[in-house]
Amino acid sequence: MVEAPNFQTEMRQLLRERIIDAARRIVVTEGWGAVNMSRLAKEVGVSRPVLYKEFDNKHALAEVVIEQEVEVFLTGIAGSLAAHPADVIAGLTEAVDFTLRTGADNTLLKAVLTGRSATDTTLLPVLMTEPEPVLGRAITAVTGMIRSQYTLGAVTDAELAALAETLVRLALSHLFQPTGPIDRAVVQINRVIVGTFGATLESAVAQRD
């Protein structure tokens, strides 16, 4: 017998989504510095105590907002790898290309990176240095995606994790501090993939086949 949805749980989830949507909207239009808990409570139509039951502070809210953005990237990366089921190098390169192009068109990311005031930079540490939800989650997820898509039995877990971390950090570096067009960045990262991991990956694929 399927249990009926819990009304209170559904309402709480709806409230969280409204808070996150409101925060994202403010970041995109005014910058992260314009986000504060009092304003969010007013925009969502709840009291501050109710808001703080869902998010302890602004930092906790930032993590959730960014986590949702990360999910968009991870879904696209999985699709990029799946588009090249027999060519791990091509799959990884397309995943990098997707990440950079999607990031360049991401309104939230643009708002954070361009900054509308000095206080906007308070969101950058969450994006760049926190183990979660960006770096740690992305590295773990990408490692699992590569293993799932290509197996690569000859590549150890440590080697695969090093590959995933290298790619994630390179992609984030180009995303946050671009020095040229995306096409050039993709070519540069592809050279790193081929030069550093190409022989290992091709050997692993050959052994699989």
CATH number at residue 115: 1.10.357.10
Secondary structure class of 159 (helix, strand, coil): helix
Q: What is the pTM of this model?
A: 0.78
For residue 131, being part of any structural domain is answered with: yes
Judge whether 160 and 152 are in contact, CB under 8 Å.
yes
Number of structural domains, the chain?
Answer: 1
Domain that residue 151 falls in: 7-208
Task: Determine the pLDDT at residue 115.
Answer: 56
- Tens digits of per-residue pLDDT, 111-163? 766 654 444 555 655 555 554 556 788 899 999 999 999 888 888 999 899 99
Question: Residue 1 falls within a domain, yes or no?
Answer: no
21-77, pLDDT tens digit by residue? 999 998 888 877 888 999 999 999 999 999 999 999 888 888 888 888 888 899 999
- Does a structural domain hold residue 2? no
Rounded (10°) angle between helices 58-82 and 107-114:
130
DSSP string, 57-78: SHHHHHHHHHHHHHHHHHHHHH
Instruction: Please write the tens of the pLDDT for every residue from 167-209.
Output: 999 998 898 888 899 999 999 999 998 887 776 666 666 565 5
